[in-house]
A and B are shown apart, each in its own frame.
Chain A
Amino acid sequence: MADISKEKMEQIAQMWNARGKGLITHMALEIEEVSSEGVRVRMPFNTDFCADADQTLLHGGILTALLDSVFGLANFVAIEGVSTMATLDLRVDYLRAARSRADVIVSAHCFRKTRHIAFNSGCVWFDGHDDAEVARGTASFALTRGDVSLFDAMTKGKTS
């Protein structure tokens, strides 16, 4: 995997921590691996995201939200000079029922970037069960290029 600079790694950590509120904070995501080739993120089990009263089955929607979030991170890592990013469309296949209380692992990468658009794909499985994918997703994002980095925009709110 291609290495990324220590500076960028610190920016990513800062960006993640600076959020302070919202869904990504609530999901308590932990970055496990990050490079321009792709990212891997862990989401701890959370009963808020369950579809059943027994709280052993994750609702598909949270996996969709997880993929969308991690695609954003993968783009931030893979593309330089992006000031804003908006999801254009998202497709998710639910491959099997998400019945487990294990942590969720998601791996995502940007497989094509142009001046205006980024294309992503990713997959989701439960920790220790990488032979049994739970969901797979693809998405495209509209990018706005600019001097203000996504990190600055996120933390200082300089652009929309």
Chain B
Amino acid sequence: MIDLQTVNANVSRVPFFRFLNFEVQSLDSFHAVTEMTFDTRHIGNPIMEHYHGGIIASFMEATAAIAVRPEFTETPAKPINLTVDYLRPGVKDPLFASANVTRKGRRIASVSVTSWQTDQAKPVAEGLYHFLLL
């Protein structure tokens, strides 16, 4: 299993991951937990200073991709599609995501992701992501 330090070094090499500004906190087979630091460039609603929904979906997608293929720098899994439910607004604090690979076949992987802020039982969003493994 790839170690956390290597994964985070790889994360910092992806321009869009740097833009999101997150770190992998834990990683085991089929499971990844990440933490994203709030930045003004993540804002969707400038009055309330909430996260943009697209940033939340992107952060969850990044977490899902790492859970599917922690060695993503070699051949990253190709995203096919995603569905996200937005459950609560994301306020200007760190955002966490936990991705669980529910099924990894020879070609397709299905990953469910939850994101939250202070209480994991009060999710900000939940998503389902599909990847093509080639």
Contacts and interface: CB of A to CB of B under 8 A. Distances in A.
Contacts of A60: 58, 61, 79, 82
**A interface bracket (residues with beta carbon within 8 Å of B):** 35 or more
A160 B48 contact: yes
A55 interface: yes
B81 A93 contact: yes
Interface in A124-160: 153-154, 157, 160
Contacts, number: 122
If over half of A's interface residues share one DSSP class (helix, strand or loop), that class is named, otherwise mixed; here it is mixed
19 contacts: A22-B45, A23-B42, A23-B44, A23-B54, A51-B16, A52-B14, A61-B16, A61-B57, A62-B54, A65-B53, A65-B58, A66-B54, A69-B44, A89-B85, A90-B53, A90-B86, A93-B81, A94-B81, A157-B47
Given A61-B16, A64-B57, A154-B46, 13 more contacts: A19-B46, A21-B46, A22-B52, A48-B18, A52-B15, A55-B15, A59-B14, A61-B58, A65-B57, A69-B54, A90-B84, A92-B81, A94-B80
Interface of B: 13-16, 18-20, 40-48, 52-55, 57-59, 61-62, 76, 78-86, 89
